[in-house]
Structure 1
Amino acid sequence: MNDASVQTESLRSSESQFYVHGIKALKPNHPEVANLIEEGFQPSDFGSRIWRSSYLLIEYLSRHSLSGTRQAMELGCGWGLAGTYLQKTFDVEVIATDRDADVFPFQQLVCRHNDIDMQTQHCSLSGLREHDLRDIDLMIGADICYSDDNARDIERLCLHMTRQQGVELILADSGRAPFVNLVERLGLRYSVKMTPLTLELPTAVSGHILHAVISP
Structure 2
Amino acid sequence: MPKIKKASAKKHVITSCGVKILKSSHQYIKDLKAQGYQPEIYGHRVWQSGFVLMNYLKKHPLPKRTSVMELGCGWGITSVFLAKQYRASVTAVDADKHVAAYLALHANLNEVQVKFKRHRFEQITTKQLKGQHTLVGSDICFWESMENTLYNLVRRALRAGVQQVIIADPGRSPFWQLSERCQDKLHAKVVTHSINKPSPAEKYLLVINQ
TM-score, reference length from structure 1: 0.88
Counterpart position of 2:178: 182
Q: Does the Cα contact within 8 Å between 1:69 and 1:137 map onto a contact in 2?
A: no
Q: Does the Cα contact within 8 Å between 2:64 and 2:88 map onto a contact in 1?
A: no
Structure 1, 31-40 or 100-109: larger mean CA deviation: 31-40
Structure 2 counterpart SS, 1:139: strand
Alignment of 1:117-196 (within 5 A): 117-165=113-161, 167-196=163-192
Q: Pick from 41, 44, 50 the counterpart of residue 46 of structure 2.
A: 50
What is the deviation of 1:15? 1.1
Q: Does the Cα contact within 8 Å between 2:83 and 2:113 map onto a contact in 1?
A: no
Q: Pick from 26, 30, 34 the counterpart of residue 26 of structure 2.
A: 30
Distance 1:37 1:68, change over 3 A: closer
Structure 2 counterpart SS, 1:209: strand
Counterpart position of 1:91: 87
Counterpart position of 1:76: 72
Q: 1: CA distance between counterparts of 2:84 and 2:64? A: 15
What is the deviation of 1:161? 2.0
Q: Does the Cα contact within 8 Å between 2:71 and 2:136 map onto a contact in 1?
A: yes
Q: Does the Cα contact within 8 Å between 2:169 and 2:203 map onto a contact in 1?
A: yes
Code of the residue aligned with 1:173 in structure 2: it is D
Q: 2: CA distance between counterparts of 1:187 and 1:148? A: 18
Counterpart position of 1:11: none
- Is there any run of 5+ residues in structure 1 with no aligned partner, and where? 1-13
Structure 1, 60-69 or 96-105: larger mean CA deviation: 60-69
What is the deviation of 1:189? 2.2
| Sequence identity percentage | 27
- Is there any run of 5+ residues in structure 2 with no aligned partner, and where? 1-9
Q: Does the Cα contact within 8 Å between 2:129 and 2:162 map onto a contact in 1?
A: no
Matched pairs, number: 201
Q: Deviations over 1:26-75 (max 9, x none)?
A: 11111111111111110011010001100110010011131177211000
Structure 1, 114-123 or 159-168: larger mean CA deviation: 159-168
Q: Find runs of 4+ consecutive structure 1 residues off by over 3 angstroms.
A: none
What is the deviation of 1:164? 3.6
Higher helix fraction (1 or 2): 2
Code of the residue aligned with 2:183 in structure 1: it is G
Distance 1:89 1:68, change over 3 A: closer
Code of the residue aligned with 1:45 in structure 2: it is I
Structure 2 counterpart SS, 1:126: helix
Q: Does the Cα contact within 8 Å between 2:69 and 2:135 map onto a contact in 1?
A: yes
Q: 1: CA distance between counterparts of 2:24 and 2:192? A: 28
Q: 1: CA distance between counterparts of 2:181 and 2:191? A: 16
Structure 2 counterpart SS, 1:42: coil
TM-score, reference length from structure 2: 0.91
